[in-house]
């Protein structure tokens, strides 16, 4: 969307004094310039755990996704020869910290937290889900409920606006940039920001009329509609963004190179048809894993971060 790109360019200029260029934490190296941590050249710094821990980005009910990923994780066990355990994380911050501390080896990080996971936790993303024709991504939508008095974005002024978490692209970063650039809306001045924690909380909050408006990922909404968690007549969309890359899947930088190759093989050799993964993610059109690079596919997300003055300082 041209308006968004123009808005991002304008915001980048406005916040440039506070903007930090994307860099990795000092404990990582990037000798090839691909913006992700290199695998340690010293074999003594590489790890080969008996059990691999996998976590999916914390959206919706973790119990739903433990079942959804069961067939895939069984496939990964057969390819890697390792036991693979699903780890139900409750927040983006907890997921990043788990990988940074060495307790998480394979993960799907949501769009917005990918850069922080790469910079601070040594996350090496290499794939995302896509449809059968190779297309991928989702859109940020701003939603409300019928009878809220909100029919366009301008009507949010003076009201509450629900976000998910500060690390979420569609749940916070992108809508913040768009509201400021396109509508001159400043949080705390023109509207009251509230945080729900997760996309499903925001969607349910709007459907139940707890929030007059919310910024959400429409891929999550599609799956919730398909499961009848909410009804289409409870939701009204008043804004839809350009398409963004969806959850990026990858591995911890310090796994042994041959293990990293096996894990990648497990993703790309997985047969979706008839699987528990297809049953859940087919609801939003996904049908395969496709290769990606953080440098190219997350360029627009890093630009949104620049527009919002995001710092990747690791603590």
Q: Where are the alpha helices (DSSP H) in 122-248?
A: 174-183, 199-207, 218-226
**Dihedrals φ, ψ of 127, to 5°?**
-155, 160
Model pTM?
0.78
Question: Within a domain: residue 314?
Answer: no
From the number of C-beta atoms within 10 Å of its C-beta (0-12, 13-18, 19+), residue 196 rates as buried
What's residue 300's pLDDT? 87
At 268, list the tokens.
């790309």
CA neighbor of 203 nearest in space, from 227, 224, 174: 224
Domain that holds residue 144: 138-244
Place of tokens 């710092």: 311
Q: Enumerate residues 6+ apart whose C-beta is below 8 A from 299.
A: none
| Separation between Cα atoms, residue 155 and residue 145, nearest integer Å | 13
| Co-location of 118 and 176 in the same domain | no
Question: Within a domain: residue 24?
Answer: yes
Q: CB count, 10 Å around CB of 150?
A: 20
| Co-location of 194 and 224 in the same domain | yes
| Separation between Cα atoms, residue 52 and residue 65, nearest integer Å | 17
CA neighbor of 18 nearest in space, from 306, 229, 315, 280: 306
| Co-location of 240 and 254 in the same domain | no
What's residue 60's pLDDT? 64
| Co-location of 17 and 87 in the same domain | yes
Q: Enumerate residues 6+ apart whose C-beta is below 8 A from 157.
A: 185, 190, 191
pLDDT in tens, 62-80: 778 899 999 999 999 999 9
The CA distances from residue 38 to 22, 53, 55, 137, 147, in Å, are: 16, 21, 22, 27, 53
Boundary (domain end) residue, out of 216, 244, 272: 244
| Co-location of 118 and 256 in the same domain | yes
What's residue 12's pLDDT? 31
Strand order in the sheet with 192-195: 192-195, 160-163, 214-217, 138-144, 236-244
Question: Within a domain: residue 187?
Answer: yes
Boundary (domain end) residue, out of 244, 264, 299: 244
| Co-location of 181 and 277 in the same domain | no
CATH code, domain carrying 239: 3.40.190.10
What's residue 4's pLDDT? 36
Total domains in the fold of the chain: 2
Question: Within a domain: residue 312?
Answer: no
CA neighbor of 87 nearest in space, from 115, 107, 101, 117: 107
Question: Within a domain: residue 88?
Answer: yes
| Co-location of 34 and 163 in the same domain | no
| Co-location of 251 and 238 in the same domain | no
| Co-location of 230 and 249 in the same domain | no
Boundary (domain end) residue, out of 244, 266, 296: 244
| Separation between Cα atoms, residue 187 and residue 88, nearest integer Å | 32
Task: Quickly list DSSP for 157-170.
Answer: TTSEEEE--TT-II
Strand partners of residue 56: 108
Question: Within a domain: residue 110?
Answer: yes
Q: CB count, 10 Å around CB of 33?
A: 7
Q: What is the mean pLDDT of the chain?
A: 90
Q: Enumerate residues 6+ apart whose C-beta is below 8 A from 229.
A: 200, 203, 204
| Co-location of 198 and 296 in the same domain | no
Question: Within a domain: residue 28?
Answer: yes
| Co-location of 184 and 72 in the same domain | no
Give the chain's residues under pLDDT 70.
1-20, 60, 315
Question: Within a domain: residue 313?
Answer: no
| Co-location of 65 and 9 in the same domain | yes
């Amino acid at each position: 969307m041209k308006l968004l790109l123009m808005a991002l360019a304008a915001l980048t200029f406005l916040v440039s004094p506070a903007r930090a260029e994307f860099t990795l934490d000092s404990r990582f190296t990037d000798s090839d310039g691909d913006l992700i941590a290199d695998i340690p050249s010293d074999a003594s710094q590489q790890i080969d755990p008996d059990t691999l821990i996998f976590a999916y980005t914390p959206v919706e009910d973790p119990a739903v996704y433990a079942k959804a990923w069961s067939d895939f994780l069984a496939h990964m066990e057969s390819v890697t020869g390792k036991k693979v355990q699903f780890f139900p994380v409750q927040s983006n911050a907890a997921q990043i910290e788990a990988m940074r501390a060495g307790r998480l080896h394979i993960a799907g990080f949501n769009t917005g937290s990918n850069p922080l996971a790469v910079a601070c936790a040594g996350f090496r993303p290499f794939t995302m889900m896509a449809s059968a024709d190779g297309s991928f991504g989702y859109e940020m939508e701003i939603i409300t409920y019928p009878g809220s008095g909100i029919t366009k974005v301008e009507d949010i002024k003076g009201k509450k606006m629900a976000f998910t978490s500060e690390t979420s692209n569609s749940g916070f970063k992108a809508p913040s940039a768009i509201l400021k650039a396109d509508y001159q809306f400043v949080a705390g001045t023109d509207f009251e920001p509230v945080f729900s924690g997760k996309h499903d909380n925001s969607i349910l909050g709007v459907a139940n009329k707890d929030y007059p408006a919310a910024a959400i990922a429409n891929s999550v909404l599609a799956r919730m509609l398909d499961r009848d968690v909410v009804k289409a007549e409870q939701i009204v969309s008043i804004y839809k963004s350009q398409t963004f890359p969806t959850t990026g899947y990858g591995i911890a930088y310090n796994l042994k190179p041959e293990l990293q190759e096996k894990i990648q093989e497990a993703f790309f050799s997985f047969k979706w048809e008839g699987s528990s993964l297809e049953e859940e993610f087919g609801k939003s059109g996904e049908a395969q894993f496709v290769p990606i690079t953080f440098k190219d596919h997350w360029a627009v997300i890093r630009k949104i971060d620049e527009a919002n003055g995001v710092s990747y300082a690791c603590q």
